[in-house]
Every structure is written in structure tokens, then in C-alpha cells.
Structure 1
């Protein structure tokens, strides 16, 4: 990053850390001025236990966890709200950015409604009521007045780059301003967790290393949505790489290998980006292999969706993550292990032996049905939080 770029990044960080300053207030106006009718407020349903999750809904997971809770326990009603997603993920309510950030009327009304829920799942350290109370997360959660609060961590919010680099040599973190900022934010958020004393959940198993007292709440996919009819696998091998964030997924390690094999006629290679979520099942039904990531040493929603779609999934998984999955589920994680040095030879071996591809795909689909269909996630939330007793009500 150039010196000018570093200064600009530092200025952006300062504004983010000082939302009530004049530059912070001006920056908020970029989200728009609220106009027209106020969006619907999410109210607590009539049920013995009610859960509200907000406001991240990354990859539609808050919505999926809510549905999983309702399927698991007829006395639990769960809702979520979120900002709009460019990928069109489902949510019970979508709040326009102008209202979320700049409408005191919406913020106060949604806070009042949130107090009517018995439980609140705070996602990814994003203040759920916009810029209310100076955009201070802890003050907003304290204002819930007795609602049982838990925290849900999704990734970079608590993932310390310094620890990631110790776990894998391919961690996507350079020694630069961005990495230092990620470390600072993660440390700040971890301090929030310690002060709160509330239950903590992480969506991927690698994050248990960053938050040892957390519970793993597996990501959820709907197997039926992804298991579309597939054409018989043939030759050449059809390979897809669809990174949500290329830098974090290690695309710089992956793309040159896939391009070289494609040019040699060994595989068909399709790179996907910016695709609406509802189109992905159809696209994955046309693939044999999905390269998930090389870098973070774990797996998440994208890998689960590809496994559910019947693809063989390749990625770099640390031994620690594989052992966590084995201990907590009793199953082996069926992501085929690759790194920058073994990716090419592994793909060549798969291209030469379709039975290897079929076995990996079959094991992956079974794994997702058993671990990531929502039952295990709902059990964790119910057993360790919602049905765990009264405990402390302090946010």
C-alpha cells in the first residue's frame, strides 16, 4: 500500500472508531437520508421463548439458524433482521441502510420491540440499532433491559491474523496496515466478550482457537435446495472456484494452477464471482469439483453448499480443525486436503480417476446432511443458551 493509501486507510479507520465525530456523522450520510414510510419493525411473536438475531445475516445464516430453532422446538419463535445483501440472502426483515444508520425513529422503535423478545443474538459486533447511543454496541445491548443476550462471531471479527499465521503458512495476512487493523479490531472485540460474560458462539470451528470458551454453532444449508439433478460426470473434469473474498480464499494460489490445467486440456475451469445466491445451485450442479480455499485452514458456508450440491470439495484444513470436527461430530471432515504445493497433482489424480471424485462427493453430501442441516446448530443454541436456565441477564 502506498503512503497515500496508508493515510487514507488510517483516516477511514479513525472515522469508524469515532462515529459521533463530525467526520463520522458526515460519513453516515453516505448511507442516505431516510425518506418515505418507515420499514416494518420486527416484533416478538407470541411464544414462550422468542429469539431475535441481528443485524449481519452473513450468507443468510441468521435466518437459517432462526428456522432451525423453530423446527427443533415448537415453543421457540425466532426472527432476524438485516441490511440488504447484494447476493439476495433470505431474511425475515430487510432494513434499508438509510433507516438503519440515520433514522432515530426506526432505531428507537426497533430497540423497544427487541425488549419484547426473551433472547437476543448479537451478530459480529455490529451495533444492531444503527447509530443509537453513539453506535456503541455495549450500550445498545445494555439497553435491552433484561433480554438474555448472546454473541455470535463470524470470522474476521475475532480472527487474529497473528494466530492464523502460526496455524498455517498460507494464512492470507501480510504485515501491513490492513492486517494490523484486523488484529486491533479482533482484540477489541475479544475484550467485549470478556466484559460481557455472556454465551458466545462461532460459526466455523477454527474460531474456537481465537475464542476458546465459545461454542461451535455450525453453519446451516438446506440439502434439498442444493441437491439438484446432475449430469453424469465425464471428461474433462469440471472445476469451479467461487471466492466470496479472493484474498481470504487464497485465489492467488488457486487461479494459476487451474488456468494452467485448463490450458493443457486437463480440466474445464469456471471462475465465479458476484453471482446471486439463488443461481448457485444450478451452477454447482454443472461442476464436479469445487476449490474452496487455501489459506484460512477451515471451511464454511460455501464449502457446505458445494458438498450439498454433490461436488467434491478441495481445500486446506488444519489438523486442529479436522480434530475438532471429529471430536464434536464423530465424523471425518470430507474436504479433500490440498495446499499450494499439492493442488495440481491432486486435481490430476481426480481427473484420472472419476471414482475418487464420486467418493468425495458422496461423503460430502452425507456429512452436510448430518452436521449442517440445522439440527446440530439448534441443539447447541438451545442446550447452551436458550434452555440453559436463567443465569445472568446482563448483556
Structure 2
């Protein structure tokens, strides 16, 4: 039965606020979770600075930043992940099933009370912390009201942009000839052309009122010039290996396209397949592998190919560098300059575009001893200098109101 829109909204509001047990008994499809699916929050940290991070945790970074913040004196942190059914299950302090996050009014209300006990909050990816609690027909993304309410209650709030939330397609097209936004049939690109300008407008307003923005990768400083770069974090020891790269006659070349258009997979695979057919390389395309198993994938690789469309680098590059692998990707001059200024050293990623990839890989094979030695020495050192959490803690120190020197 089709109800008038006004009636449907009222009915939905009543159902959302009804006791879970009652709705599950009468209409179980409206409560697609069991009582045990609702997570129990950890105790609020007893530290003077109590930081809450969520809800995206893309590539485990929300949790990694929470742990990095705890390197600072007097900071305790909790990270939350609103996880879809097919999520990669990165480590987190609180894992909230998507159905609970979006549908449980009881959880949402309890979560708002819980987060209100923290002194600082980092909101990831312009996504609400409390699901649909503050969503309205006029304002479907309740995150902006959440931020207003948290600040009114005395909580210090900051935003963290991960990429697709603020990356402006028009600006990105100017940055690199290999931008995925050149594909006008790319549905995600069309959606970002709508959402990113709106997110940037909101963040402009918040920055003007004193709410800082952090960005996870330096290319996003083009979109958020007033933001602070919050470096990605990986554990160098977890990815370390005793086996240097390029020791085999036929090197293993790995590409793990978690998002093909963003990684530029379609543009580089013809090159890789051609080289593999000649027996020059052993090409392995890795998909659907849980995050916990990627360490073995990179340890068994000689060369890791990461991003060839965005012009930046992400967690996969950091993990491969920490393992001492030869990393090849397209990274713009703007990103490389930002890295050099921040780290005091060059990004040890061999530059290639889809047009030059075959030549670069041929160079790797021709000069394998020199290339392998540099990757083995420079990759892990670079990750320890910029991506082991200490630089991220330093970036968060001012926001947390504590001393900038992190405890190594």
C-alpha cells in the first residue's frame, strides 16, 4: 500500500522510536539485526583529553589515528566503525553493523550520550556519527547538525577528509591527465561532482567558525588549502620482511585494485598482460583478499603497482614501502613536493603513467640490483619517518591542545 509521503514519514518516525523487541516481534524485517549485534562501547578514557574518531575507518585509518593520538601526553582515544556487511573488517575499537547504525534509534540515542562524554571528536568523511538520528527530509546528512550540537555542548570537533568526500572533479582534472573523472560514464564520478562541492561548502563554513579540517593525503590540500595533512599510518614492523625484492629471475608484480577506476587498472593491465605473456614478469592481480592477508601478498611480491589515476599514494603504497618492495605509481609533482617538505626526504616511489609503465618496468629489470637496493633501504626508512604514527600525532597535537612532541 502506498501512503502519502507525509504519512510515510510519520510512520517511519514512529517505527524508528518503537522498542526493538516489539518491532522485531511484529515486523522482523524492520529490525534486521539481533540484540547481540548491538555493540557495547568501551569505557570512556580517563585521560584529560578524550578523543573519539569515526565512523569511516577507511583502510583502518580511523583506528590508526586514534592510536597515534595516544602517543601524545594525556590523550586517550576510541575509534568507531560503521561497517557494511561486506566490509574488510579493519581493526577498530567499536564495530557497528550498518543495519544498527542506520536503523536503531536506541543505539543512535545511546551513542550520542556516549560521545558527549568525550572532550574531542574527529568526524570522518563527512559522515554522521549517529546514523540517521539527526537526518531530516531537508537535511538528509545529519552530520552537520551533529557537529553543531556537539560544539554547543562543549566538545571540540574536527573533520577528516579521506578523498572522495571532498575531491572536486573539475579541480582534479586539472591536476593529472589520468584523472578518473575523464570517464564521463563513471557513475561514482557523476555523484562526486554533486556531493564534493556541497561538502566543501560546509567545511568552508565550519573552518570559518573554528572547526579544523584534516586531510589524509596531500593531494587533497588542493581542495582544502586551509587543512592540515594528517599522514596515513601503518605499522612498519608488521610489514617488514627479511627477503629483499627482485631476487628471482622473473619478478612477481602485484596490483591490488580495490577500486579499479581510482587505481587506473584498466589503463595499466594491457601493459602487464603483455609483459606476462612474454614471460618477463609474473603478474598477479589481487582482489577480495582480507586486509589481514595482504602482508603475505606484499612480502611475496617484488614490485607493487598502486595508483595510476589519482596522482597520489595511499595505504597500500605505505605498506609495500614498509616491506621494502619496489613501488611504482603515478604521483603528481604537487604531492611529491608536499612529501619532501614534510618528511625532509623524497617519496621512494618510481614514477610511471600508463604510457610510460612498460619503460619503467623494463628499467627496473635492467637495473634490478640498484633499484632493489634503493627500495630495500629507502622504503622502510620513509615509512618510519612519516607514516608510523608519530607525524600523525604531531599533526593532531594542536587540535588536542597538548604538546607537539609525541612519545616515540
1:88 offset after TM fit, Å?
2.2
1:184 paired with 2:194, answer: yes
| Contact 2:72 2:402 survives alignment (8 Å) | no
1:202 paired with 2:203, answer: no
CA distance in 2, matches of 1:118, 1:132: 21
* TM-score, length-scaled by structure 2: 0.85
Change (3 A) 1:21 1:225: farther
CA distance in 2, matches of 1:306, 1:111: 38
1:83 paired with 2:82, answer: yes
Change (3 A) 1:257 1:23: farther
Q: Which has the larger radius of gyration?
A: 2
| Contact 1:31 1:101 survives alignment (8 Å) | no
CA distance in 2, matches of 1:162, 1:155: 14
Change (3 A) 1:388 1:273: same
1:211 paired with 2:217, answer: no
1:192 offset after TM fit, Å?
1.3
Structure 1 residue aligned with 2:268: 254
| Contact 1:81 1:93 survives alignment (8 Å) | yes
CA distance in 1, matches of 2:33, 2:201: 34
1:231-255 CA-to-partner distances (Å, cap 9, x unmatched) read 6622112110011101100001111
CA distance in 2, matches of 1:239, 1:31: 47
What secondary structure is seen at the aligned counterpart in 1 of 2:304? strand
1:74 offset after TM fit, Å?
3.6
1:352 paired with 2:366, answer: yes
Change (3 A) 1:25 1:279: farther
Structure 1: runs of 5 or more not aligned: 1-18, 390-395
CA distance in 1, matches of 2:29, 2:226: 38
1:335 offset after TM fit, Å?
0.8
Map 1:149-298; keep pairs closer than 5 Å: 149-173=157-181, 174-176=183-185, 178-197=188-207, 198-230=211-243, 233-298=247-312
1:73 offset after TM fit, Å?
1.9
CA distance in 1, matches of 2:33, 2:133: 15
Structure 1 residue aligned with 2:142: 136
| Contact 2:256 2:287 survives alignment (8 Å) | yes
* TM-score, length-scaled by structure 1: 0.88
1:121-164 CA-to-partner distances (Å, cap 9, x unmatched) read 00001111001011411112222221000000000100011111
Map 1:48-127; keep pairs closer than 5 Å: 48-70=48-70, 72-84=71-83, 86-127=87-128
1:378 offset after TM fit, Å?
0.5
CA distance in 2, matches of 1:300, 1:217: 12
1:91 offset after TM fit, Å?
0.1
CA distance in 2, matches of 1:152, 1:358: 36
Moved over 4 A (4+): 19-26, 29-32
1:84 offset after TM fit, Å?
2.9
Structure 2: runs of 5 or more not aligned: 1-7, 16-27, 136-140, 404-408
Give the number of aligned pairs.
367
Q: Over aligned residue pairs, what C-alpha RMSD do you find?
A: 2.3
1:370 offset after TM fit, Å?
0.7
What secondary structure is seen at the aligned counterpart in 2 of 1:81? strand
CA distance in 2, matches of 1:21, 1:334: 57
What secondary structure is seen at the aligned counterpart in 2 of 1:138? helix
| Contact 1:334 1:364 survives alignment (8 Å) | yes
CA distance in 2, matches of 1:171, 1:320: 15
1:24 offset after TM fit, Å?
12
| Contact 1:158 1:190 survives alignment (8 Å) | yes
CA distance in 1, matches of 2:196, 2:49: 31
What secondary structure is seen at the aligned counterpart in 2 of 1:221? coil
User: Bigger CA drift: 286-295 or 137-146?
Assistant: 137-146
CA distance in 2, matches of 1:259, 1:239: 11
1:1-20 CA-to-partner distances (Å, cap 9, x unmatched) read xxxxxxxxxxxxxxxxxx96
